[in-house]
Each structure stands twice: as structure tokens, then as C-alpha cells.
Amino acid sequence: TRGVAEADPAVFAGMTHELDREQNQIELIASENIVSRAVLQAQGSVFTNKYAEGYPGKRYYQGCAPSDEVETLAIERAKQLFGCGFANVQPHSGAQANGAVMLALTKPGDTILGMSLDAGGHLTHGARAALSGKWFNAVQYGVRPDDHLIDFDQVERLAKEHKPTLIIAGGSAYPRHIDFARFRAIADEVGALFMVDMAHFAGIVAAGLHPTPFGHAHIVTTTTHKTLRGPRGGMVLTDDEGIAKKINSAVFPGLQGGPLMHVVAAKAVAFGEALQPSFKSYIAAVLENAKALASRLKERGADLVAGGTDTHLALVDLRPLGVTGRDADEALERAGITCNKNGIPFDPLPPVKTSGIRVGSPAGTTRGFGVAEFRDIGDMIADVLDGLRAKGETGDPAVEKAVNDRVRALCARFPIYPEA
Ligand code: PLP
């Protein structure tokens, strides 16, 4: 059988470009990571051929014994990682995991209460453009203007006024710890179920270096590809047996057909890695590195939303530097540093421009960068942004070229997939 290089040179060219990009750019997108060879191999395995509708021991097709083996490993490892009683590892993505919770525990037209996109929430938490915002009466809370922390007075007021069925905590651009106990108390007061979407910080919870939502949330969802460093995918966890049954029916046959067994196998491998002591040191470094990068950017004149970070990500307010998020992320990409523009709370600019960028440490830490390297990256970013301010939106080509040389030299010192 021919490999992809021979069978399809056009697609192989794209794959080669992506490998080169990952090897030679500094990846700061907070929701991304660099998986191990073992995870890649499991995801590229023959399990992609298999239909395994149902759950281990209760499948609809024959030939599912190997699928049962890997799915059971994924489930048991997930439960062990988070110290919980139930895991459904089949959601194809984080959005699917959240959709399954809504299908299981709410009805269209119900009221849900989640964090707004502007404040750092996710589309699936009730944003107007998403299914969660169209099929539900979605009420949204935000952060306080002065310290950018969750406005619990507002959460409580909205909960009492609107009596939601489901309250959601968690987000994509919130850099601080979340007070899960306070959310649960509000949920109990109004008879709501409380869900935590820990997609971003799941790896930190798994390592025991972030407060756990278990013991507070009725239900927890996550992606598996961010700090958890697994394949792209989702997962739903709970300690409540009644909710667990409903979740299984909601994922299949409610929302999905056959699970992606190759992804489930890769999830099992990633969870096995996250159970090793080395994962805890990795996450400790992720946290230290995010702080180092954020504080260097602050020293170089940027503002930090919420004053800093407790996690793997920082939201950087670029207004003191006089550049927009869009110009910044484009200039940084030209210099070989990948991040994303991001609205800041109460952003005066529209989402296509924004006043901020979001940066994260998970991928860089995986390739071995430490505090010194992340401080250096902070300087590289600030140099590019200074060039942008001096020369306008086209940026300063000489500065961007000089930074790109530094980026390439740093990446060469910390190679990834060297055997590819
Ligand atoms: N939930 C949160 C908090 C996220 O940040 C994301 C993705 O960024 C998702 C859910 C959705 O995950 P996916 O892109 O896998 O659907």
C-alpha cells in the first residue's frame, strides 16, 4: 500500500507545510498543544475503520471487542485523572460535549445562564450566533469593569430574575481561577443545575494545580486537546448516576452516530500520559511560563486583563501600546509567532479588530521552553509591536525579519517531531 506522499502529493504537500510551520513557529494559541508521537500514532490507526455505535459491552455492530478495550481504558483513565465516577469519552469535540449536556438536561426554550463571549465565555454557552443562543433563552453574565473578575452580584441577580435550568461556568479567555463553590450556591438557590466547562484548564485540574470543579458541579465538560494534550475531541464527566445515564443517551443516539474510535484510542493514550508524574511537572512549568510571558509583556508596556494569570493563558490589552489585536496577530505571524486577536472585556473595537491578543504557554512548554525562553518570547512580541506602532499597520519588515531569525534559532534548539 502506498503512503500519502506517493498516493496524494497535493495533500502531502499541505501536511509537510503544516509540519514545517509547527516545527519553526512559536505556537502561543492558548487552546493548542503538541501531542506525543504515541497520541498521533493512535489517532492515525486502523480504528478509523471501525463502527462502534453504543458503549463497551453494548454495541450495535459485531467486531467491537478491540473498540471495547480502548474505550474502557479511556473511560477508566479519565475517571482516575479527575477522581470522578463517570466519563463519556465519545463527544467528537468540546462543542458536541456541551450540546450533549443541553440535550440531556434541558429542553429547547429553557433558560440557560452562561458567560458572554465578550467577557471570555465560549460560543456554546449561549452566544447569539450559536445553537445554544438560538434554541434557548440564553442569558449572559460578564466580568466587573474594574478588576475583570466574574461579576458574581450580576450572576446572582440574573439567576434570581431568570430562573435558569442550567448555569454554566468556564470560558476560552478567562485567565483567573473560578469560584466554583460560589456558582453552586447560586445554582442551589434558584434550583438550577451547575455545569463547568473546563476545556481550557482541564490539564491543570488533572495535575492537581487548579481548583477542581468536582464536588461543586453537577456536570463537567472538557475538550481533550488543550492543556490536557490529547487528540482533538470532547468528554463529559459527572459523579451523579442519574445524570450519567442521560448523558450516555444524549451523546448516542441523541447527538452523534458512531464514535471516532481512532480518536477514542488516542484519548486513552493521552490520559495515560497525563497520569504520569511527568505530566504534573509539565503543568507546573506551563503555569510558571504563562506568568513569565505575561509579566515580561507588562514590563514592556502592555496591560494584562484581570491583572495577570492563574492559568496557562493571558489576555493582553494592547491599548497602551497603540496597536490593535488584528494588526498585532498579523505582524506576529509574519515574524513566526502564532497567537490570536481577542476582544478584551468592554472592548471599544469590534471582534474583527479587537484591542487584545490571547497568549498561552501549553505548546511552547511541551517543546521544552522554560521561563528564560518565555521572557525572551515576551521581548520578541514587544519588539514586533513597537515596530508596528512606529511604522503603522504594515509593520517594520526589518524588525519582523530579525525577530523571525530569533524565532527560528529558538525553535531549532527545542525541536519537535525530529524523526518526522
Ligand atoms: N468550550 C470551551 C471553553 C472552549 O474554549 C472550546 C474551544 O475553544 C470549546 C468548548 C469547543 O471545543 P471544540 O472546538 O472542540 O468544539
> Can 226 be counted among the known catalytic residues?
yes
> Can 386 be counted among the known catalytic residues?
no
Mutation test residue for ligand 1: of 172, 201, 236, the one with most atoms within 8 Å of CB: 172
Measured from the Cα of 98, ligand 1's closest atom is 10
Q: Taking Cα atoms as reference points, which of 167, 213, 215 lies closest to residue 189?
A: 167
Mean pLDDT of the chain: 97
Here the ipTM equals 0.98
Alpha carbon distances (Å) from 191 to 22, 159, 196, 302 = 47, 10, 16, 42
What's the whole-model pTM score?
Answer: 0.97
Report the separation in Å between the CA atom of 94 and the middle of ligand 1, taken as the mean of its atom positions.
5
* DSSP structure class, residue 124: G
Measured from the Cα of 225, ligand 1's closest atom is 15
pLDDT of 419 reads 80
> Can 376 be counted among the known catalytic residues?
no
> Can 317 be counted among the known catalytic residues?
no
Q: Which of 111, 124, 165, 223 is catalytic?
A: 223
What is the full per-residue pLDDT of the chain (420 aa) written as tens digits?
Answer: 689 999 999 999 999 999 999 999 999 999 999 999 999 999 999 999 999 999 999 999 999 999 999 999 999 999 999 999 999 999 999 999 999 999 999 999 999 999 999 999 999 999 999 999 999 999 999 999 999 999 999 999 999 999 999 999 999 999 999 999 999 999 999 999 999 999 999 999 999 999 999 999 999 999 999 999 999 999 999 999 999 999 999 999 999 999 999 999 999 999 999 999 999 999 999 999 999 999 999 999 999 999 999 999 999 999 999 999 999 999 999 999 999 999 999 999 999 999 999 999 999 999 999 999 999 999 999 999 999 999 988 999 999 999 999 999 999 999 999 987
Q: Name every protein residue with a CB atom under 6 angstroms from any ligand 1 atom.
A: 31, 93-95, 98, 122, 124, 170-172, 197, 199-200, 223, 234
Q: Is 258 left (phi over 0), alpha (psi -120 to 50) or beta?
A: beta
